[in-house]
Amino acid sequence: MAVSLRFIPDVAVFSSSAMAPRGAVARGGGKRAAPGPAASEKSSFARRVFAAVRGVPAGRVTTYAAVAAALGSPRLAQAVGNALHTCTDTSVPAHRVINAGFVVAPASGKRARLAAEGVHFDARCRLADARAALAAL
């Protein structure tokens, strides 16, 4: 399916709405953030992810893949990340879930929150002592 774009100053209009990026709007406005669903409207998978992540104690971390495996769906690590990315519940410590390479971007708030909990990183932004910091789910 071919998609043609017409460029209008600062706004792209897509000829196929199925191909438009999330949040894109046609003429006359910028991106509009769609309100996220309330916690009660989240999928059962997302609620299971949140429950599992609440079990990670302060000062410890786990990976997206480990959360997915603990939920019985080892191939859904990316879905775990998506669920945590859209989570607005402050009781869910989403900052304690990191990638499988144990790397956290130096300028991210996630790294600062983990450092405040006593999780240490080396000069290359990798988890300094993975064995000590990894939490079992």
The sign one gets for the Cα dihedral 137, 106, 79, 83 is positive
Kindly state the DSSP code that residue 29 receives in the 8-state scheme.
-
Could you list the beta-strand ranges (E) of 61-122. Answer: 62-63, 97-98
pLDDT at 133: 83
Task: Answer yes or no: is 10 within a domain.
Answer: no
Residue 98 main-chain phi, psi, to 5 deg:
-125, 175
Is 53 within a domain? Answer: yes
Give, rounded to a whole angstrom, the gap between the first and last alpha carbons of the chain.
Answer: 44
Residue 4 lies in a domain: no
Which amino acid would we find at residue 44? S
Instruction: Establish if 34 belongs to a structural domain.
Output: no
Total domains present in the chain: 1
* Single-letter code of the amino acid located at 61: V
pLDDT in tens, the chain (137 residues): 454 444 334 433 334 444 444 554 444 444 444 444 554 557 899 999 999 999 999 999 999 999 999 999 999 999 999 999 999 999 999 999 999 999 998 888 899 999 999 999 998 889 888 887 888 77
Q: Determine, yes or no, domain membership for 109.
A: yes
Query: What confidence score (pLDDT) does residue 85 get?
Result: 93
**Looking at residue 80, what is its pLDDT?**
96
The answer to the question of residue 65 being in a domain is yes
Going by the DSSP 8-state scheme, the letter that residue 28 receives in this structure is: S
**Would the pTM count as exceeding 0.85?**
no
Neighbouring C-beta atoms of residue 127, cutoff 10 Å: 20
The CATH number for 88's domain is 1.10.10.10
**How far apart are alpha carbons 12 and 89 in whole angstroms?**
33
Structural domain range at position 52: 40-133
- Check residue 105 and give its pLDDT: 87
Q: What is the pLDDT of residue 136?
A: 79
Is the residue at 18 inside a domain? no
Please report whether residue 32 resides in a domain: no
